[in-house]
Structure 1
Amino acid sequence: MARGAAFLGTEHAILCGAMSWVSERNLVAAISNAGGFGVIACGAMTPELLDKEIAATKGLTQKPFGVNLITMHPGLFDLIAVCAAHGVSHVVLAGGIPPKGSVEAIKAFGAKVLVFAPTLALAKKLLRQRDGAGADALVIEGSEAGGHIGPVATSVLAQEFLPALAEEHIVFVAGGIGRGEMMAAYLEMGASGVQLGTRFACATESIAHPAFKKAFFRANARDAVASVQVDPRLPVIPVRALKNNGTEEFTAKQREVALLLDQGTIEMGEAQLQIEHFWAGALRRAVIDGDVENGSLMAGQSVGMVTKEEPVVEIMAELLDQCEAELSRR
């Protein structure tokens, strides 16, 4: 874990996954203050909102933290400029292949770039250091994760990616990690660290509504289901969330957007943006308003291990104790 910690500038190489509406100043600062690495979820924020969020986070922690930007955001380069103005140390690009010039724009102000890749070939391409365009680290995230997911399990991705990349590159593993023993397994395979989201979503410092947290405490692994793709022409990235009315509303939304595509009233890019805006609204209803029936309860399959509200520092200590005990036992 030392290599990952040195890369992040933290005590422990444990990132908190960027969860829209949840990964904001309070949780991000708490994670970083506890020795981990908090990441602001920019999501659909405007540059003005991101500017305020970064400034507010700086007011709560002196430790390093990062910003997660969605690659399809129409104002991506404006958001990068905000990160530059604040001297953000690490930027995570998520949701697709980074558009031309985005990695260079981030590295130009001295920040490190983390990317996601669903295939080994793409990972190698994104990590290739050529003309200053290569990413500095990779996150491999399996289908057990909450939120936007790929089709392959974390355990399979780890077996494929880590032997090929971990010796030369910084690789973090994410998806379905709820205990330290699992962290130990991936570290032994060569990972430089891990990323957890669901485990931190209901921390004391999380601003998520009490009803949102209670839904997590009641849930088990099989309640966190992946969304269904309605129309193959609309390549919507599946989302894992707790099953409720909101899950069914998303299926209806896909049908609505597919019809607009049929009619030629919107382009594919706009169609995907409409889906992203749907998720932003549905998430807000659940996380902020506490509407756990109609909002989106994005959660990974490790949700069954989230049974009570506890401070970030205690969650972190428990994970590290479990990890160390497992590595010692081995």
Structure 2
Amino acid sequence: MKDFSNRVTELFNIQYPIIQAGMVWCSGWRLASAVSNAGGLGIIGAGSMRPEILQEHIQKCKQATDRPFGVNVPLLYPEMDRIMAIIVEEKVRIVFTSAGNPTLWTAFLKERGITVVHVVSSVKFALKAQQAGVDAVVAEGFEAGGHNGREETTTLVLIPMVRDAISIPLIAAGGIGSGRTMLAAEVLGAEGVQIGSRFAVSVESSAHENFKQRIIQSNEGDTVVTLKQLTPVRLIKNKFYQKVQEAEWRGASKEELDGLLGKRRSKTGIFEGDLDEGELEIGQVSAALKKIETAAGIVQSVWEEYDSLKKSICS
């Protein structure tokens, strides 16, 4: 079924304008290939991978799907030269960059025939990404789990402002996990959606079962954005979050917060399943997620609801 086409599906050569976010400790080759095989765009999350592990996941993803997939690269992470060399060596055709300056690597990637998309949380950075030469922008609202803007601009407000500011394709993210929200994003000016939290609790997600169960048991108000002095993230409230909150309330320095966060907190929570001492990063839409589904089931459910609602509105 290839009766839908817009700038996002054409840019990535995919069936549906549904992109799976490159989430740390969730987005390995199994999830990425499953989403791509279902007609969306699967993304390997390089943020939680050493270079040699990333290379292994890329190679396995190429074996598991003959459809397009991409790699998400947080630009503030170490060993960036090696990561980019692997991406070129393995002939990855699509790269989503985030958490950093898009001018650093966009030209390098595009000179090698790679499609580049940058994740932003404000109009200011959307314009900078367009000026850097990226092919598309993901505008991610305050509802999201990661890459939250300090401005706290919600998706409902952010998408139309970014749409008015840029001419390149626009993908909406933050609080999107259904066909209804996909249609709403389109009305606001987006040409595709990036979904994180719902895929984080998929069968193919590499997240620990404890983390998945905690997400589907969560309720409205269980998540909060914190760590704004470092990199703002939305966390499920737990013992670790309470420690962060107490430190922030007494005016802890960046160095103290960085020490509290450590290098393994997200791995401890998301990948190893420690629900007390781990960093449980997830989007606000987690309160609406009540079951674990296959990635293919998620893609089909989102698309069918979107398609049905659009037809009913337009009829």
Indicate if the aligned counterparts of 2:121 and 2:147 stay in contact, CA closer than 8 A.
no
Instruction: Normalising by structure 1, report the TM-score.
Output: 0.86
Provide the C-alpha distance between the structure 2 equivalents of 1:199 and 1:260, rounded to a whole number of angstroms. Answer: 33
Deviation at 1:248, TM superposition (A): 2.8
CA deviations over 1:284-304 (Å, ceiling 9, x no partner): 122222211211221111112
Q: Are residues 248 and 322 of structure 1, via their aligned partners in 2, closer, same or farther at CA, if it must alter by over 3 Å? A: same
Deviation at 1:189, TM superposition (A): 3.1
Q: State the partner residue of 1:303.
A: 286
Q: State the partner residue of 1:107.
A: 110
Provide the C-alpha distance between the structure 2 equivalents of 1:185 and 1:288, rounded to a whole number of angstroms. Answer: 32
Q: Residues 21-32 of structure 1 correspond to what in structure 2 (within 5 A)?
A: 21-32=25-36
What SS is found at the alignment partner of 2:116? strand
Provide the C-alpha distance between the structure 2 equivalents of 1:237 and 1:289, rounded to a whole number of angstroms. Answer: 22
What SS is found at the alignment partner of 1:68? strand
Deviation at 1:253, TM superposition (A): 7.7
Q: State the partner residue of 2:202.
A: 203
Provide the C-alpha distance between the structure 1 equivalents of 2:126 and 2:11, rounded to a whole number of angstroms. Answer: 18
Q: Are residues 253 and 72 of structure 1, via their aligned partners in 2, closer, same or farther at CA, if it must alter by over 3 Å? A: farther
Q: State the partner residue of 2:276.
A: 293
What SS is found at the alignment partner of 1:32? helix
- 2:156 paired with 1:155: yes
Q: State the partner residue of 1:217.
A: 216
Q: Residues 61-210 of structure 1 correspond to what in structure 2 (within 5 A)?
A: 61-98=65-102, 100=104, 102-128=105-131, 133-150=132-149, 151-165=152-166, 168-210=167-209
What SS is found at the alignment partner of 1:155? helix
Q: Residues 311-330 of structure 1 correspond to what in structure 2 (within 5 A)?
A: 311-330=294-313
Instruction: Normalising by structure 2, report the TM-score.
Output: 0.90
What SS is found at the alignment partner of 1:295? coil
Q: State the partner residue of 1:46.
A: 50
Deviation at 1:225, TM superposition (A): 1.1
Provide the C-alpha distance between the structure 2 equivalents of 1:72 and 1:155, rounded to a whole number of angstroms. Answer: 28
Provide the C-alpha distance between the structure 1 equivalents of 2:121 and 2:234, rounded to a whole number of angstroms. Answer: 16
What SS is found at the alignment partner of 1:43? helix
Provide the C-alpha distance between the structure 2 equivalents of 1:289 and 1:94, rounded to a whole number of angstroms. Answer: 24
Provide the C-alpha distance between the structure 1 equivalents of 2:241 and 2:15, rounded to a whole number of angstroms. Answer: 38
Deviation at 1:140, TM superposition (A): 0.2
Provide the C-alpha distance between the structure 2 equivalents of 1:34 and 1:249, rounded to a whole number of angstroms. Answer: 41
Match of 2:22 among 3, 18, 22: 18
Letter in 2 for 1:297: L
Match of 2:253 among 252, 258, 264: 258
Indicate if the aligned counterparts of 2:141 and 2:173 stay in contact, CA closer than 8 A.
yes
Provide the C-alpha distance between the structure 1 equivalents of 2:251 and 2:51, rounded to a whole number of angstroms. Answer: 29
Range with greater deviation from structure 2 (141-150 or 42-51): 42-51
Q: Are residues 60 and 120 of structure 1, via their aligned partners in 2, closer, same or farther at CA, if it must alter by over 3 Å? A: same
Provide the C-alpha distance between the structure 2 equivalents of 1:7 and 1:220, rounded to a whole number of angstroms. Answer: 37
What SS is found at the alignment partner of 2:221? helix
What SS is found at the alignment partner of 1:298? coil
Indicate if the aligned counterparts of 1:209 and 1:290 stay in contact, CA closer than 8 A.
yes
What SS is found at the alignment partner of 1:123? helix
Q: Residues 1-16 of structure 1 correspond to what in structure 2 (within 5 A)?
A: 2-16=6-20
Deviation at 1:260, TM superposition (A): 4.9
Provide the C-alpha distance between the structure 2 equivalents of 1:210 and 1:110, rounded to a whole number of angstroms. Answer: 38
Q: Are residues 146 and 259 of structure 1, via their aligned partners in 2, closer, same or farther at CA, if it must alter by over 3 Å? A: closer
The percentage of counterpart residues that share the same residue type is 31
Q: State the partner residue of 1:247.
A: 241
What SS is found at the alignment partner of 2:278? coil
Q: Superposition RMSD on alpha carbons, in Å?
A: 2.3
Provide the C-alpha distance between the structure 1 equivalents of 2:11 and 2:252, rounded to a whole number of angstroms. Answer: 41
Q: Are residues 161 and 285 of structure 1, via their aligned partners in 2, closer, same or farther at CA, if it must alter by over 3 Å? A: same
Deviation at 1:256, TM superposition (A): 11
How many residues of Structure 1 are paired with residues of Structure 2 in the alignment?
306
What SS is found at the alignment partner of 1:59? helix
Provide the C-alpha distance between the structure 1 equivalents of 2:108 and 2:191, rounded to a whole number of angstroms. Answer: 25
Indicate if the aligned counterparts of 1:18 and 1:40 stay in contact, CA closer than 8 A.
yes
